[in-house]
Structures are given as structure tokens and as C-alpha cells.
Structure 1
Amino acid sequence: MSWLWSWIPEFANPGRLWTLALLPALVIAYLILLRLKGRVALRFTNTGVLGRVVGTQRRWTRHVFVAMSLCSLVALGLAYANPLGTEKVPRERATVVMIVDVSLSMSAEDVEPNRLDAAKQAAVEFVRGLPDSFNVAVVAMSGRPTIAIPPTTDRGATERAITSLELADGTAIGDSITTALRAVDMAPPGGDGEEPAPAMIVMLSDGTNTEGPAPAEPASRAKAEEIPIFTIAYGTQNGFVDVDGQRENVAPDTATLEQIADVTGARAVDADNRASLADAYRDVGSVIGFEDVAKPITATYAFVALGFAIVAALGAVFMAARWPR
């Protein structure tokens, strides 16, 4: 039934919905009038005369026109409560923290020329596509995650931080989330009286958590702070690297990344080549670059009420007219 609730709008003045309480009373009154009319009709034994007096009407059409009248009243009652819809508008401010995996598995060459170089290029393109007013930070994910650059609007400095990322041992996904949350706290405050800019994290990883705490607890903390974590599972299932003469498979842990995104109310996407990685960043950018803003849709409900009222009015004219026989 959750799908049903999603169709129910929010209202700017929900207290005005009391007007809908009149609807059951009107329905009951209509049913009572129908019973009384039936009793009166039984008094006339000459049905031919009665037919000439009241004319011929299909019973079901009368009910339809009454229903249209009631629907018009319902729509007007909802319009009176000022229903609100949502409209996507570009964000004016935001803090975006990019977590880029730099573990040794990023040297795999299943993505040309290798995972890390392709990831750097895609990350730079992603940053260039963000609004200039967004503060962007970069966290290097390894066994010891570090803030490569704190939140800043200097795109040149951010791009240099991304291109200077180097391979390191280990993959600490949980600690990387904690580090990203710390980077969010480093964002410059807004003007006087302004609320803190909304923050979001974009994590690209090609491996499994190998060090530090599990990602579940840091992800829950991000959820509590209303910071969504968008994840990109990067690389193919057949990717490999040679470590100490041993060939190791380095397939991305898609299940963990999906869980992180789900917990924080964000989106998880996969990328197994340069094109799909660019698409993944573009997909994420289309989400974080906009926000849902409440918008009055009273006119829509009033228009629906007008439509019902027109049909009901035509029905009243139809029932009142004496058509030639």
C-alpha cells in the first residue's frame, strides 16, 4: 500500500481538510432522498401519467451526475487545503565529497589504460560539471584514508588533487566514510543566518573492505546526519592484479556498495569501462545537482474540480429539460 501513500500530496494548510467531512453527510442525505422518492412513487398507480409528468430518465445517469458533483466538491476541498507538489530546481549551494579508491587493485588494466587513470579522468570531468558554487573535497581511499583536499570552490586545486592521487596499500571503506564526514565538517560556513549547505558523498571503489571497521556503522552515522552516499562499483568481475607473483581477482564488492547507498537513501551504480564510468558520474551528477522544492499545485485541483462541475451541470440540464418524444 506504500504506492498509494506516494500519490497523496502534502498540504500547506492541512487543517482545512475538515471540509471533506461534509462528503459523507451529503452521501447519506442523497440516499435518504432516494428512499423518500421511492415511497412517493408508490402512491401513483397510473404509471403512464407519472411518466408524462416526470419524463423518462435512466436511473444510472442520475447517479453518475450526482457522483460528478460530489467529486467536484472533493477536488475543491483538496484545493482549499493548498496541496503541494515538488519541482526539481538547481541547487545553489552544496558540499560534495568525492571518495576515490587508490588501493593497489586500481592498477588493474581491465579498464584502459588502468582503473586509476580512467577514474581520475572521469572524476575531473564530474567536478567540471558541478555548479561553481559547490564546495568539493577529495578523499583518497586506502588502508589509511586521507583528505587530499578539503572542501573548496577552487576547481583548479581540486583537479590537481585528483590527478596527483597515487596507489597505496589497503581498502578501508568504513574509515573512508568517516574521513569524508570529517571533510564535510570542514566546509566553509554560509552567510549570516544561512543554514549549512546540504552535503553528499560520492564513493568510487573497486574492491572489498580489507582494513578498519565495517562500513555499516559509518554509513548509519551518515544517514543520521542526512548525508547520502552515492556509490560506484568500479571494474569488471574478471579484473586482476599481480601481487608478489600471485594473480589475484579484484572484482568490485557490489553488494557492500549497494548496502551503503541504500542505508543513506542514495543510489548505487556500476561501471566496468570508461564510457560506463562517465555515465555513472553523469547519473550521480544529475541527482546531486538538483533538489526537490515544494510547489503549490492548487490550480491543478481547481481545474479538476471545474471539470467535474461542468459534467455535473450538463447532467442537471439534461435531467431538467423536457425533450420532445
Structure 2
Amino acid sequence: MFRFENPEYLYFLAIIPILAFLSLIIGKQRRKALEKFGNPELLDSLMPSASKTRPVIKFYIMLLAIACLIITMAGPQFGSKLETMKRKGIEIMIALDVSNSMNAQDIQPSRLDRAKRAIYQLVDKLNNDKVGLIVFAGQAYTQLPITTDYPSAKMFISSINTGIIPTQGTAIGAAIERGIRSFSSQEDINRAIIVITDGENHEDDAIAAAKAAVEKGIKVYTVGMGLPKGSPIPVPGGDSNNFMKDREGNVVISKLNEEMLIEIAKNGNGEFISANNIRKGINNLVDHLSKLEKTEMDAKVYTDFDHQFQYIALIALLLLLIDYMVLERKNKYFKNINLFEEKEEEAK
């Protein structure tokens, strides 16, 4: 497990591109000033030891050294020991729809991208709770088993796209059933399944699956992605004006099935939440989840973090040493050496 002990120092990395940009502007102004002073070719002959590239190289070496020093200050660490600790929380399985209809752009940039942002925000608001991830289209698969490793959860979320499952469709019921089987074996703990979809269920009985979840003490929440008026579905890999069509050649319009999602949540003893406004929708969802009683459960966490700053600090030291050794002027002992002179003569 990798982390930074003082991640706030990483904000100072923003000065690196700023300094690089200022260097370009100053270099351009300097060249204009020299052109006003005299003929550039004549000035070069008057200053044979002057180098145009060495100061630039030294500057960027210095920038790399500064970047390494900033990372050193942030304190990179690796967790060397995995321990089981007691924490109070709940278990949450997120079921994300990855069918082609989630590429629709009635909410920008797309339903799927907006859903992934919503999950990011939800994970950021969790505290001591376990979270897992299921992806579904025509079939449902567990993408991430139940865990307290939030960084891993975000990593899995970032890699999701609508091509991850070859079988198309929207099997919400299968996703709920998969969620029921994906929780830990611990008893007497509150659990919730959050289904994030546009609600175009064509595959199974999602309401029956929600009722089955309630029988096992699991609440089912639904988050609707999309608008009731709908939107055409872009063809994956095509241009922005290429949309999916039915057998008759008509453009397919995918619409949010809000009634279906409300009914699933009602039978799942949960709530339907519209995520068109991500911040409000996720805050409402977190409020609902916070009302569930927290239960003590086992959580594997990394402890005994080892500092790794010395390696970055060594790189910074080497860069500073190189910067010191590289002169801004041409070396007088090597300025007359032409490595290509013999080859040029042979070519003649």
C-alpha cells in the first residue's frame, strides 16, 4: 500500500509548469532583446564560448530536482504490514450499469462518466464502511470484492467502460442477485446495494430480486442516470454524429425509466435518488446510508509504513550535482572537437 505522509506538499508541484512557462517567456524576450542589440550571427562570433542550450538544460535539471525535493517533503511511504482491525460501519455493494445506453449524453459528458463521478464522491464520503463494485449489462460480474481499500475502489472505477461486458442488455435483477452473494459472511451487519442505471431493464425481474434482498436484511437503493426525454446512443468508436439504430433504421432513443427505478427501490426498502445533480444526489444517498446502524466488523488495513523518501532525495541530490557540473558556457577544451568532421570528409 503506497501513500504520502504529508500529501498537502504535493500542491507545490504546481509551481513546476509555472516556472517552465515563465522560462519560455523570458527566453523569448531575451532573444528579441539580442536581435535589437545586433546581428545574431555577429554576436555569436563575438561570443564563441556562449551556449544557447546549456542554460536551458541546466534550468530543466533544476526543475526536476525541485520536483523531487517536493515529493521528498510529501513523505512517500509503503505499508509493510497488513493487520486486521475492528471498525464500525456497514457493507455497500455498488452495481453500475455498463450497457451501451449509458453512453447517452443527455447528461454531460455521458451517463456513465457522470455515474463514475458519483461513485468517486460517494467513496470519498465513506468512513470505515466496506464497499464493493459490480458491473452489469446483459450479465453481472463482481469487479471488486467487498473491501475497505478505497484507493483500489477508485482505481477499478476509473478503468470501467461500456465494452467491459460483451453481452449487452440491462439485467438489473442479476446485478442485485450478484450483490446479495457478494457480501461478507459476517452476520448482524447492515448492508445496502446501490444500483446506478438508466433503468432500461429488459432482461429479468428486478423487483423480485429487490424483494429477495429485503428478506436477507439488505436495502436496495437506485440512482437514476439520464433524463426522461432521453437521448440517442453514440456508436462506440464512431464520430459524434453516428448513433445506434434499430432494425428499421431509426435512431434509438434511450430514456430514463424513473418509474421502474422507483418501484425497485420501494420493494427493496430503499430510496430512489436522481443523480442529475451529482452533489445533491450523493449527499442525499449518504444521508440515507448514515441512518443505518453501524456494526463492528473486521477490516484489513496496512500498518507500519516504511519511509521511502531517501530514494527520491538521492535522485534530487544527483540532479543538483549534475546541474553544478554542467557549465553554462562551452568547455574550452572540447569546443574545437567535431565528432562528425571525419565522416563529413569521407562523404566528400
C-alpha change, 1:267 and 1:207, in structure 2 (3 Å) is closer
Deviation at 1:277, TM superposition (A): 2.5
Paired residues of 2:224 and 2:258 also in contact (CA < 8 A)? yes
The answer (yes or no) to whether the contact 2:225–2:256 under 8 Å persists in 1 is yes
2:162 is matched with which residue? Answer: 167
Match of residue 221 from structure 1:
212
- Residue 102 of structure 1 contacts residue 141 of structure 1 at CA under 8 Å; is this kept in 2? yes
Gaps of 5+ in 2: 1-86, 234-242, 295-348
Q: Is residue 206 of structure 1 aligned with residue 198 of structure 2?
A: yes
Once the two structures are superposed, residues 274-316 of structure 1 have per-residue CA deviations (whole angstroms, 9 ceiling, x without a partner) of xx133212111111123369xxxxxxxxxxxxxxxxxxxxxxx
Which structure has more helix as a fraction of its residues?
Answer: 1
Deviations 1:81-113, CA, capped at 9 Å, x for gaps = xxxxxxxxxx92210011111110111112111
In structure 2, which of residues 248, 253, 258 is the aligned counterpart of residue 254 of structure 1? 258
Distance of 2:88 and 2:208 partners within structure 1: 31
Where does structure 1 lack aligned partners over 5 or more consecutive residues? Answer: 1-90, 190-194, 294-325
Query: Hey, which bits of structure 1, 4+ residues long, moved more than 4 A?
Result: none
Three-state SS of the structure 1 residue aligned to 2:211 is helix
Match 2:92 to one of 93, 96, 100: 96
TM-score by length of 2: 0.52
Kindly name which structure, 1 or 2, has the bigger radius of gyration based on alpha carbons. 1
The corresponding residue for 1:234 is 225
Pairing of 1:120-131 with structure 2 (within 5 A): 120-131=116-127
Task: Give the AA of the match of 1:204.
Answer: I
Counterpart-to-counterpart distance in 2, 1:178 and 1:217? 10
Selected match of 2:133 from 123, 134, 138: 138
Q: Is 2:146 the counterpart of 1:151?
A: yes
**What TM-score does the superposition give when structure 1 sets the normalisation length?**
0.56
Q: Distance in 1 between matches of 2:286 and 2:120?
A: 12
CA distance in 1, matches of 2:254, 2:282: 21
Q: Pick one of 100, 107, 111 that aligns with 2:107.
A: 111
Aligned mates of 1:258, 1:98 — CA distance in 2: 17
What one-letter code is carried by the residue in structure 2 that aligns with 1:225?
Answer: K
Letter in 2 for 1:124: Y
Aligned CA RMSD, in angstroms, stands at 1.9
- What amino acid sits opposite 2:205 in the alignment? A
Q: In the alignment, which residue of structure 2 is the partner of 1:180?
A: 179
AA in 2 matched with 1:258:
I
Relative distance call for 1:170 and 1:108 in structure 2 (3 A) is same
